Structure 1
């Protein structure tokens, strides 16, 4: 498909730093996807190799998967179509089969969007630093000039990895000995509606001691119930109400492509991703140490609670701080040989999962921790949330640098330490509070995250900083 002027789609509008995301029929089309599939093979040198392709439940994903496969095969790759998959299923397949691949998804974006996440063999991410823009540029050439046929065209076949994915996750966290738990899962009409029954239910494997209460498990890329974006509090309301209604022990909410998981306790209150990071870190550190590893590294970004590095160090791990963003986390995971990594956005990365992120494996760790003790999740969660956080607050500004300069001037004194790893982080030397200011890369927003030892101090810091930012 081309524009009305018969000009090929401009790929620069859909290629982002870490993935591809655009509006179906406008900035991402079957024709452009076919060109990207061909360029993917050429840039990564995959002629004669296996390429894995699958997609989520969005209406265009099946067509786009086939188009990508056609482009890849034209340039000589042998393609395995995986059908309906979650994003972390692609990572599992790329890791376990040691093959490059792509999944069609727009994650939590609205129904009119679709996109691609790509990985090299071993689930190594393809980003702007590792070839994504080269793929874009070559695909743009192919759109304009056509895709040349390789001397030997590749073969396209089909395979399914859901059973192997479920078996692998079950091998990493043994849930068979858990006390009985009632678990409400909100799939948001996304891919968790397929992966949850396979991993936590009994559709493919033996049943676990869980009663799963499903919410919106029907795969529907038009998202008829609510957006599949649990980062927005409004999209958790149905899950929170269902947990209370059913007297459940825990609630789990997944985004559209099921690579992120949010947790709700038995009182209907969210458990912060920082608390989940700390909980999983404790379990992974203990497992690594039991296998003889000294001071296993755990990655956290600079927006996670200070409780995270404190707990990692307390448990004998080695906390490693990194910038926000999954490419930074994954790169640092590989560099440090880290056992686990967590972000405030509910992305969780595991060494045993090819350094990739998987919401399902994080959920299994939380279920295991809850199931091996008798107390409620609210008590367990409080153990990992000793501080009070503001959450991320966005300010839309005409002049972001001027706002940052005002805050820096106000807080430049001997009682505050300032560092510049990712935006500016201001930390009170008495340990009572810290906050971070980061400019958005794509929007005129300045993002504030603040944390303190108590609610009053946090509110004072938050309000003082916002007054400076917004004046």
Structure 2
């Protein structure tokens, strides 16, 4: 069991390393930094203390992923939270969606130490209030940063008169049972499934949820790739949005004549899918497929027009599929805090993003790659069709995928695109999230969106056929990169 590093008699806690600038690791929605450079144990300790102050927590859930520094950072955060007067329940090794599950069912705030898909050498924090309500810069993260920075700069913090207690809780079985209660896979046809965990936390959660190690076996033959937990990522980065990181999965699916392949990112909150040929299934297609299932389930429960949330870079097949199924599709900006806010505001049953984040009302409006994968397996297992045939029905358009371009002046580059791009047809321009240009006849669209952290413009486009997409992509990127 991970150590606590806590002296219950301590009144004044001093930091041992030079103060770091938390602005280098605190982002809009979470914390991500380089181990021992922009994030260290002292920072984790200070953040733990500040977290309790900002959330007014009396109980905090704390866990971490398989990265080498996570254990020390969990111990340091625990020490800070306890010094601030909160009781801490250490959850041990957890994926990000395991934190959301625990926060939801236990109605307590929490943090998971993870850097998601970032490479070895990074770590970070994803935080939540009770019931898995997100914490972003607008809802407390900036306040936590400010308070923690003050403690680091002062070189010490003082513990409260009443320090908290530390206990341990294993939530893996409860997490697996909860997911299985939402999607029943017991009666599907037998499926052969290759799962690439990328040495990340899916190597821990997949056997529990889809295998027979914790619960009864399902009609699934799981072929594991890189299930060994290793935060140095010796095989490939745990970032399946990059095509190069899907090569091993694609080869394994073909080699084993598998029905489908699943790839998870490092903290296992995102899931990417490849069909039986090894071809990628777009997150938009997955969003449409899951949306139809969730609409049907909600209607069966008595809802008249279930709401589905999708971000503006998602394929238009999503709103088309939602409306055809009798639901209502609502577009929002990119980013989990916006999706979760819209989910709560509209009591949406499901939400999806182009980045393969999938949100479920029955999962506390939080994102979970595993639950999305289970929906896909249920849909595939209920038919004799192949995964490629199933996905083709939800992939009527051709997408460019996200393409990044380094630019010196993001705003000036966007202005140049608008001034120089001449499609020869009438267009509509939206600035909801970046700049989206749509043909008014609905035939194509593209979006250019500045990165919040790097001098990049992110380009996405969709068209009815390959030649139109290529023309659109090359025309706009030609202006961006001129």
Structure 2 length-normalised TM: 0.95
Describe the SS at the equivalent of 2:157.
Answer: coil
**Structure 1 residues 411 and 420 mapped into 2: Cα distance closer, same or farther (>3 Å)?**
farther
Asked if structure 2 preserves the Cα contact closer than 8 Å seen for 1:301 and 1:321, the reply is yes
Structure 1 residue matching 2:137: 3-state secondary structure = coil
Give the distance between the partners of 2:358 and 2:133, measured in 1 at CA.
Answer: 15
In structure 1, distance between residues paired with 2:37 and 2:411: 34
State the alpha-carbon separation in 2 of the partners of residues 309 and 380 from structure 1.
18
Matched, 1:163 2:173: yes
Contact 1:184 1:248 in 2 (8 A): yes
Report the secondary structure of 1:130's partner residue: helix
3-state SS in 2 of match to 1:131: helix
Q: 1:219 maps to which residue?
A: 229
TM-score, with structure 1 as normaliser = 0.97
Question: Which consecutive unaligned segments of at least 5 residues does structure 1 have?
Answer: none
> Contact conserved, 1:437 with 1:449, CA < 8 A, in 2?
yes
Query: CA-to-partner distance for each residue in 1:159-197, whole Å, 9 max, x for gaps?
Result: 100000000000000000110000000000000001000
Deviations 1:305-351 (A, max 9, x none): 01001111111111010011111111111111110000000000000
2:22 is the counterpart of 1:11: yes
Correspondence for 1:460: 471
Tell me how far apart the structure 1 counterparts of residues 165 and 125 of structure 2 sit (CA, whole Å): 22
| Pick aligned residue for 2:273 from 260, 263, 268 | 263
Residue-by-residue CA offset, 1:246-300 (whole Å, 9 max, x unaligned): 0000000000000000001000000000000000000001100111101111000
2:73 aligns with 64
Query: Cα–Cα, structure 1 residues 75 and 390, in superposed 2: closer, same or farther, change >3 Å?
Result: same
> Are 2:31 and 1:23 aligned?
no
Aligned equivalent of 2:150: 141
Aligned position for 1:188: 198
Tell whether 2:442 aligns with 1:431.
yes
The SS at the match of 1:96 is helix
Q: Match of 1:117?
A: 126
1:12-411 to structure 2, matched below 5 A, reads 12-46=23-57, 49-145=58-154, 146-409=156-419, 410-411=421-422
Superposed displacement of residue 147, structure 1 = 1.8
CA contact (8 A) 1:227 1:235 kept: yes
CA RMSD, 1 decimal: 1.3
Q: Report the Cα distance in structure 1 between the residues aligned to 2:134 and 2:110, rounded to whole angstroms.
A: 10
Q: Which runs of 5+ in 2 are unaligned?
A: 1-13
Q: Distance in 1 between matches of 2:416 and 2:33?
A: 36
State the 1:411 CA deviation: 4.5
After superposition, the C-alpha distances for 1:407-443 in whole angstroms (9 at most, x for unaligned) are: 2123598711111111111111222211111111111
Shift of 1:406: 2.3
SS in 1 for 2:429: strand
Contact 1:255/1:261 (<8 A) preserved: yes
Return the alpha-carbon distance in structure 1 between the equivalents of residues 200 and 183 of structure 2.
24
Seen in structure 2, the aligned counterparts of structure 1 residues 261 and 190 have a Cα distance that, compared at 3 Å, is same
Structure 1 pair 406/10, CA: closer, same or farther in 2 (3 Å)? closer
Contact 1:2 / 1:9 at 8 angstroms: preserved in 2?
no
User: Does the 8 Å contact 1:259/1:347 carry over to 2?
Assistant: yes
Query: What is the DSSP-based 3-state SS (H/G/I as helix, E as strand, rest coil) of the residue aligned with 2:460?
Result: strand
1:450 corresponds to which residue? 461
Give the match's secondary structure for 2:323.
Answer: helix
Structure 1 CA distance, aligned partners of 2:284 and 2:250?
19
CA distance, structure 1, for counterparts of residue 479 and residue 145 of structure 2: 41
Query: 1:45: how far off?
Result: 0.9
How far off its partner does 1:91 sit? 0.3
